[in-house]
Structure 1
Amino acid sequence: MQLILVRHGQPMDMADPKTGNPPLTELGHAQAQATAARLANEAIAALVASSLQRARQTAAPLAAALNLPLATEHRIGEIDRDGGRYQRIEAIRDEGREAWHAFLADPVGYFGGDGKIFLSDTLDGWHAIIETMLANPAERRATVAFSHGFPINILLNHALGLDGKFRFAPAYGSITRLIVLGWDRLSVLSLNETAHFPSV
Structure 2
Amino acid sequence: VANNIGLDLGLTHFCITSAGEKIDNNRFYRSLEQRLIREQRKLSKRLEVAKKHNRKLDECRNYQKQKVKVARIHEKIANQRTDFLHKLSSRLTDENQIICIEDLNVKGLVKNHKLAKSISDVSWSEFVRQLDYKCAWKGRTLVKVDRFFPSSQLCSSCGHNDGKKELNIREWICSNCGTIHDRDINASINIKTEGLSGIA
**TM-score, length of structure 2 as denominator length:** 0.31
Structure with the higher fraction of residues in strand conformation: 1
Structure with the higher fraction of residues in helix conformation: 2
Structure (1 or 2) with the larger CA radius of gyration = 2
**TM-score, length of structure 1 as denominator length:** 0.31
